[in-house]
Chains A and B, each alone.
Chain A
Amino acid sequence: MSLSDGDMAAIWLTLRLATTVTLLLLIVGTPIAWWLARTRSWLKGPIGAIVALPLVLPPTVLGFYLLIAMGPNGPVGQLTQTLGLGTLAFTFWGLVVASMIYSMPFVIQPIQNAMEALGDRPMEVAATLGASPWDQFFTVVLPLAKPGFITAAILGFAHTVGEFGIVLMIGGNIPGETKVVSVQIYDHVEALEYAQAHALSGSMLVFCFVVLLALYSLQRKGRPLFMTFGKRS
């Protein structure tokens, strides 16, 4: 089993993309998850639904709208052009933006669930111990929701590695820029290079299995987040 230079470039690009997307999503997603977990606003329903949309929409639909939005005449395209960045379609950063939207529910939902499971009590306890709201968030909420963050990071990363349709729509097939592993495999199959398709596909299979194995082992070891006993009043 051997991987060509093109395969290696696709692998590195995929890892770079997935890492970038995961880190950005953790930063952007945490406040959204926090808001969704805490709010009593009527907007919780609509915003929650928008966050979950990429779970059910075909990637081609998402990719199609993004392509139009990022194109020279789309709102995002016009903004980026005004800023002197050119258009995002068929670039690495265009792929990052598209992947962030595509993987968003996989990052936000585990964090939101972990934060909802905490309830109000840990923050109330911290408040009675003199912790300001920011202090409460960083010293109590983040550490207690850590398992949610780990799940979010692993799922976000793995899901970005596994995307295909949206990449084709928005990124195309530019080696070293937008040609990720899944597209590379597609190209190999199209060219009837089954040996190379096998090598790359096998690597992906092993990688995804190891990631999921790590995730599930981690969850099994999970210990109670917040020590309580007895009934709530």
Chain B
Amino acid sequence: MKISDIGPAAILARFKLCYADAANKGFILDVDTQLPAQGITAIFGPSGSGKTSLLRCIAGLEKAQFGHLQVQDQVWQNATSFVPTHKRPIGFVFQEASLFGHLSVMGNLQYAIKRSGSRQDLGLFEQVVDIMGIEALLPRLPENLSGGERQRVAIARALLIKPRLLLMDEPLASLDTARKQQLLPYIERLGCDFNLPILYVSHSVDEVLSLADHALVLEQGKVVANHSMTHLCAQLNGPFGVGNETGAIIECRVVQRDPQWHLMRVTFGSAQLWLPDTGEAEHSSKRLRILASDVSLTLKPCAGSSILNVLPVQVIAISTDKSKATCLIKLNAGGVDLLARISKKSVQELAIKTNDMMWAQIKSAAIVR
């Protein structure tokens, strides 16, 4: 069952917002962008980059002086009209859980159900409670829940309003690492289980890498990038390439498991890799992250190496790195982009040039989704 059947139309957001008050002196949000109305779109950027302001404008909690917002076929804001928040078909998950303390968990959920604009849908209720794992919490008061539990209830409540668009404002930011890891899989499932477009505000690279399909990158109130995650991560100077974290992400498929050596084979494009078996189901789609520092290059496939994965690659581009000693090299491996970080000395000694055919040795790759 699906919350709404929506085509892959787009969200068109155009906002100009200036804060006049002293606390946000001089901050201007100036965004004119189009986002996919499907999957999880991360709104990413450092603190104070305007992520939350943009999300609040989309929710109608903040009113931009000049705003145009069209979500699929509906205009939510333009020069003459402004749909108030309570009339927008959105769900909103705040950074802190914001459950109503005077209502039980069930009462909080019913608050949303009553206002969802349709008769009570028992199937949806059971599905949401089941996916969020909150059945046992229903009679309890929010004050008796842990942080992670509260946030799961808040997400469930936002889903029960039957939104056409789910907005999440750093829903994991106030949780510790262990709780984050617990909650991530729940959020991952939302996009596909409910066929619901999600805008996900975050300043955490890890969260964005493991959740998002698409990312809008903001800096000081302006859009600096708006692309699919695979495209952004394969860029030489991409927004997620902070220091040693630079690395490509690759959508791959688990095709075979080898119980003797505890390995599994994944394929992407025309290339394949052997990875330690992490128990993923065969034929499942996974997202791999290969750090640039885990990829080295050789001119010939060298025998006598302990490295399991050696792929033929073509050099696409060479760029300087943040460190003076190293270069970042963008490679094409079987139709998919990879990044490698190697020393400038090696680039010179091996005479690496654009379009060269080489061999990439991949030391490790992590499944992030």
Q: Hey, which bits of chain A sit against chain B, CB under 8 A?
A: 121-122, 124-133, 135-136, 139-140, 143-144, 146, 223-233
Interface flag for B343 (CB, 8 Å): no
Interface flag for B25 (CB, 8 Å): no
Which of A132, A143, A226, A228 touches B86 (beta carbons < 8 Å)? A132
Given A143-B100, A225-B102, 13 more A-B residue pairs with CB atoms under 8 Å apart are: A122-B100, A124-B61, A126-B111, A127-B60, A128-B90, A129-B111, A131-B111, A143-B102, A144-B100, A225-B101, A229-B174, A230-B174, A233-B169
In the assembly, what is the distance between CA of A225 and CA of B98, in Å? 11
Q: Which of B77-108 contact A (CB under 8 A)?
A: 84-87, 90-92, 94-102
A144 surroundings in chain B (CB, below 8 A): 100-102
Give the shortest distance, in Å, between B168 (CB) and chain A (any CB).
11
A227 touches B98 (CB 8 A): yes
Work out how many contacts link A and B, with CB atoms closer than 8 A: 101
What 0/1 pattern do residues 305 to 318 of B give for CB contact below 8 A with A?
A: 00000000000000
A139 touches B111 (CB 8 A): yes
A139 surroundings in chain B (CB, below 8 A): 111
**In this complex, what residue of A is CB-closest to B201?**
A233
A233 touches B52 (CB 8 A): yes
A227 surroundings in chain B (CB, below 8 A): 97-101, 142-143, 145, 150
Given A130-B86, A132-B86, A233-B170: A125 and B94 interface contact (C-beta under 8 Å): yes
In the assembly, what is the distance between CA of A233 and CA of B53, in Å? 10
Question: Max chain A CB contacts within 10 Å: which of B86, B95, B143, B170?
Answer: B86
Provide a sorted-by-A list of 24 A–B residue pairs whose CB atoms are within 8 angstroms: A121-B94, A121-B98, A122-B98, A126-B86, A127-B85, A127-B86, A128-B59, A128-B90, A129-B158, A130-B87, A130-B112, A130-B116, A131-B115, A136-B86, A143-B102, A144-B101, A225-B101, A226-B100, A227-B100, A227-B143, A227-B150, A228-B96, A230-B95, A231-B95
In the assembly, what is the distance between CA of A231 and CA of B60, in Å? 22
A229 touches B96 (CB 8 A): yes
A223 touches B143 (CB 8 A): yes
A121 surroundings in chain B (CB, below 8 A): 94, 98
What 0/1 pattern do residues 145 to 158 of B give for CB contact below 8 A with A?
A: 10100100000011
Give the shortest distance, in Å, between B351 (CB) and chain A (any CB).
51
Give how many B residues have a beta carbon under 8 Å from the other chain's beta carbons.
Answer: 39
Q: Which of B116-169 contact A (CB under 8 A)?
A: 116-117, 142-143, 145, 147, 150, 157-158, 161, 167, 169
Give the shortest distance, in Å, between A26 (CB) and chain B (any CB).
19
Interface flag for B173 (CB, 8 Å): yes
B95 surroundings in chain A (CB, below 8 A): 230-233
B102 surroundings in chain A (CB, below 8 A): 143-144, 146, 225
**In this complex, what residue of A is CB-closest to B144?**
A227
In the assembly, what is the distance between CA of A189 and CA of B65, in Å? 69
B86 touches A125 (CB 8 A): no
Given A130-B112, A130-B161, A228-B97: A124 and B174 interface contact (C-beta under 8 Å): no
Give the shortest distance, in Å, between B68 (CB) and chain A (any CB).
21
In the assembly, what is the distance between CA of A136 and CA of B100, in Å? 12
Give the shortest distance, in Å, between B51 (CB) and chain A (any CB).
9
B101 touches A124 (CB 8 A): no
Which of B97, B116, B143, B169 touches A224 (beta carbons < 8 Å)? B143
In the assembly, what is the distance between CA of A139 and CA of B112, in Å? 12
B100 touches A128 (CB 8 A): no
Give the shortest distance, in Å, between A38 (CB) and chain B (any CB).
15
